[in-house]
Each structure stands twice: as structure tokens, then as C-alpha cells.
Amino acid sequence: MTTDLSTDPLTAPAEQAAPWWRGAVIYQIYPRSFADGNGDGTGDLAGVRARLPHLKSLGVDALWFTPWYSSPLADGGYDVADYRVIDPAFGTLDEAEQLIAEAAGLGIKTIVDIVPNHVSDQHEWFQAALAAGPGSPERQRFWFRPGRGEHGELPPTDWESSFSGGTWTRVTDPDGTPGDWYLHLFAPEQPDLNWNHPDVRAEHERVLRFWFDRGVAGIRIDSATMPVKDPALPNEVTPDAHPFVDRDEIHDIYRGWRAVADSYAEPRVLVGEVWLADPHRFARYLRTDEMHTAFNFDFMMRPWDADELRTAIVSTLDAHGPVGAPPTWVLSNHDVTRAATRYGREDSSFGFVARAFGIPTDLAKAQRRARAAALLSAALPGSLYVYQGDELGLPEVEDLPLDVLQDPMHFRSGGTDPGRDGCRVPLPWTSDAGSAFGFGGTPWLPQPANWGDYSVERQDGDPRSMLTLYRTMIALRRSEPALRGEEFAWAAGDGDDVLAFRRGEDLLCLVNFGETAVDLPSHLEVLLASGELTGSQLPTDTAVWLRV
Ligand code: NOJ
């Protein structure tokens, strides 16, 4: 006897629960700036544990922690000295295990960050490579090369670092003479690993298991297009023949990682940091035996403009469709200017090169748009990332004193790029300035005097606050079947200044980017609006979810 699965109510596709990561809300924690449990001014795991109720009440499904491992913090932890040790500034491995378990007890999963492209120059492998000298097996795990020029005084290539400047640093050999150069696509404190070396591959698979065995649900993969290099190290860099970005051989690494992730009874999830302009090259990372999802930076970088965002949505959905992976929606993270500042600028797009001091912004407008953008991104099918503090509407802190800045992007730009510290300022929990607004200690970056206005305490229970908007929005994503599903269609009204799309049978999302209010279509119920509706109209810079 055969069973017609399509009519069996228990197994019909619509009834099967989608894997959690396809529609999850994932909250990004930058541990240094989230909450300080021991009063030393640096956020830590004790602080996160104490604030788990906040995350529970926000309704998120998972937490992504930027690196919490032992690190000299030359690049905010993306210079990992030892993956098996929690940085003492953040706590202990024991506390990390407790945190993972406590979060799981609240129904919240944990994602950790893995940084395959490079390690810290303090990592034991790199220290061993320096000590062992030229031509040693220890140096094979990195990219050591003799320099060009008569005396090797010129770097092996002229490649430019993502952090400005060159990508090679010359070492002094154990005998005191100038020696070879090593490759670092980022800061000199972040030597690049050689992924052609079997140790590099084996060690990373062990690291994955180390954290998967401790109950983490997945990993976020840093700079995921960059670990593989053309071994010939050609000097020339063109978009078509790129020696260190998106090399075809890279996919084999992630296939190996996927096999590790799939070997668990509850398969673990791979999320890639994939910055690629070409949506089709991007989608190759999401084939069914590679990563599960990857950050959608195209959407994040677009200006506040209906056509621009529509283009990003269309190309995102088109690229993901054929590989069957869900899109992700991201408004900001620890590397970019916060939405609640950026959207008030004349040019509200994001680009690393365009970053500068003193760009004027209209904060009230940015706040209004950040609210609408939250509703827009939360209404799209796929998973949603919330960067800590976005749920409070925190703006970028643009007037940090120069002498407190820490970001290598600032220093390596020669001081023209303000860097990424302004989106990393410790969070305000209360309105009490005396306790660093509930963060604790003397924060490693100073908080603005008005930070208390954005605090959780101030916003809690206020029906008009950003926090209330985020809580309601996330709760609706969970409770509305149309938002849990993956159905999406453009709707009547979608046009020059308005984005309009339908989710499932009965839910309509509209966002007005224009300068004048537009009429709402007939509807049964307003589920949620990002601002006050004027009669039956949707004002400028406002989004609404309607039941139709
Ligand atoms: C991307 C991370 O998000 C960023 O913070 C870091 O500086 C670089 N990768 C290098 O690891």
C-alpha cells in the first residue's frame, strides 16, 4: 500500500515545521559592549547572563556572539589567539557553557564566530613560525614570502588591505637580520592562514566540534570569501581573476564544515559573512551541501529609497530561489554605521570607503526611517538579524574623542575614516548616568550624556518606543502564519515611492518612502505600524502591516 503524503495532514508540506534557522530572529551580541557583570568597564559573559531576560522578552530565537575567545583585541577579537579559551576580560569557558545552557533553557540558541582567514599574531602557530625561521614547516601554515627588490625590501605584492595600506609585513629573523614578509589581508596583527596546509583544515574542523560539542547551534563564518589564495600570488588584482577573494577552491572547505555540522543529531548551522557584489557568486555559497545562510549586505548597504530597496529584494529573492536557501535581512552590525544615524543623511547608503567624520544627519528622520526599516526587514521571508542596540534605536556615536578610538580601520586610514567604534559604544540599560547607564564600571568607550534616553528602562512599557516596536514585531513574526511561511508577492500599490508586498494569504506590508502620505488599501486590521497613521493614510517614512 502506498501513502499519498500530500494529503496526509501530519506530513503535508504546509504542516511540517521548517528548520529553525530558515525564519529565525538572530540577535548579535558584541560582548565587550553589551553588559558588564564585574564593573571593569568591559562587557562580559556574566553581563550577558544577567541580561538574558531582556533577550527573552525581545523574543529572539538565537544569539550570535562576535568572537569571545582569548585575543589581544587588535581587531576587537577578530584576532583569535586561542579558540578554546574565553578571553579573561569576558569570563571563562565554564561561564560560556553555563550561558549556552541558560539561553537554551529560555529557548534561545547560540551561534559563535569562527575566523578562518587569519589568527592573532599571538597565536601559538604564528609565534612558532616566527621562532622557527625561514623555510621551516611552521611557516608553511602562513604565507611567508621573500620580498621583491634587490634586498627583499619591497613587499611580495602590492595588494591593498581591507583596512587600507599594504597586506605584507616584514619580519626580523631569529638571527636579527631582516627576513621574509607575511601576508595579512587585514591588520599586521592578523596573519593569514594557508588553507592549502592540511593542519589548517584539520584544526578548524576540531574547533568546530569543540564548540558544537558544547551545545552551540551554529557558527558565523568571518570574511568567508577570503581564506583561499591563488598560490602563485599574482600581483594583479582584477574583478575577474581575483587572487584572494571568492576562489573556486573555497567551496570545498565549507563542504567539509557542512559535513561536520550535519554529523550532529541536531544539525548545526553555517552562516557566512559573504561580501560579494554578484548575487550568483554569492548564491554558490548557499548550495545545499555548503552554508545554510549568508548575510545580505546588498540590502543593508542600499539607501532609503523604494527603488533601491526593491532592487535589492528582487535580486536577493532571485539569487536564493534556485539554491533553496532562505535570505537574511540585516540593517546593521558591528562594522557599519547604525541605521538610526545613516538613514537621516542625504546619502543614506552604506559604504566603507564613503565613511568620513562630520557627515550631517537628521536624527529624527533617521529614527523614523529606522523604525520603518525594521518593519520592512521583519516582514520579508527569511531570517532577520538584529544588532545589539538597534532595538533601542541607538544612533552612531559620532563624536567620540579621538584618543579613545580603538579601531584599526581608523588608524590605518591615516585618521580619515572614523572607524567602527561609534557603533560599538556600550549599551544603556537604565537612565542612571552614575552606573554608566546600567552598563557598569567606566565603559571602555564613553557613552553620550543622553544615552539614558535610549535605555531599556526608559523604553520598557512605552507604547511608542523602539523597544516596544521590536518586541511587538518579533512576537507577530512568531504568531502570524503568513510571516512564518515563505510566500512572498508584490502587491497592488507597489510603485515609485511605496513598497507593497503580500505575505501568505492575508498579510500586507506597505512602506511609504515618498514625501506625502498615501491612502491605505482597504483592510481588516492594522497589525502594526512603525509610526502614527493619519486617518486612513500612511505618512512618509512609515511602514505598516495590514490584515487584508
Ligand atoms: C569581518 C568582521 O565583521 C570585522 O569586524 C573584522 O574586522 C573583519 N572581518 C576581519 O576579521
Q: What is the pLDDT of residues 293-309, one digit of tens each?
A: 999 999 999 999 999 99
Distance (angstroms) between ligand 1 centre and the Cα of 118 equals 10
Report the CATH number at residue 241.
Answer: 3.20.20.80
Quick: pLDDT tens for 190-242: 999 999 999 999 999 999 999 999 999 999 999 999 999 999 999 999 877 89
CA-derived radius of gyration, the chain: 24
H/E run at residue 499? strand 498-503
Asked if residue 476 belongs to a domain, the reply is no
- Does a structural domain hold residue 14? no
pLDDT at res. 175:
87
Nearest residue CA, atom 6 of ligand 1?
A: 78
* Structural domains counted in the chain: 3
* CB distance 323 to 292 below 8 Å: no
CA 257 from chain centre, in angstroms, equals 20
Strands 518-519 and 525-529: unpaired
pLDDT digits (tens, 9 = 90+) for 467-480: 999 999 999 999 99
C-alpha cell at 493: 500599490
The string of pLDDT tens digits covering residues 456-470 is 999 999 999 999 999
Q: Quick one: pLDDT band at residue 15, thresholds 50, 70, 90?
A: very low
* Structural domain range at position 502: 488-547
The amino acid at 308: E
Q: Which of 134, 224, 226, 140 is nearest to 171 (CA)?
A: 134
359 and 416 assigned to the same domain = yes
The residue whose CB lies within 8 Å of the most ligand 1 atoms, and thus the one to mutate among 80, 167, 219, 223, is 223
13 within some domain: no
pLDDT band at 16 (very low <50, low <70, confident <90, very high): low
Long-range Cβ contacts of 84-91 (<8 Å, 24+ apart): 84/207, 84/210, 86/45, 89/32, 89/40, 89/42, 89/44, 90/31, 90/32, 90/42, 90/43, 90/44, 90/45, 91/37, 91/44, 91/45, 91/46
State in Å: Cα 183 to ligand 1 middle: 16
Asked if residue 315 belongs to a domain, the reply is yes
Hey, whose CA ends up nearest to atom 5 of ligand 1? 335
The answer, yes or no, to whether any atom of ligand 1 lies below 6 A from the CB of 144, is no
Q: Ligand 1 centroid vs 504 CA: distance in angstroms?
A: 37
Looking at the structure, do residues 111 and 215 belong to the same domain, yes or no? yes
Cell matching residue 122:
599571538
**Percentage above 70 pLDDT, the chain:** 97
Cα 208 to middle of ligand 1, angstroms? 19
Kindly give the distance from the C-alpha atom of residue 223 to the centroid of ligand 1, in angstroms, as a whole number.
Answer: 7
Ligand 1 pocket, residue 69 CB under 6 Å: no
Residue 254 CA to residue 272 CA, distance in Å, equals 10
Asked if residue 132 and residue 94 are part of one domain, the reply reads no
One domain, residues 390 and 510: no
Residues 321 and 172 occupy one common structural domain: no
Ligand 1 centroid to residue 187 C-alpha, Å: 10
Atom 10, ligand 1: residue with shortest CA distance: 78
pTM: 0.96
Q: Are 39 and 140 in a shared domain?
A: no
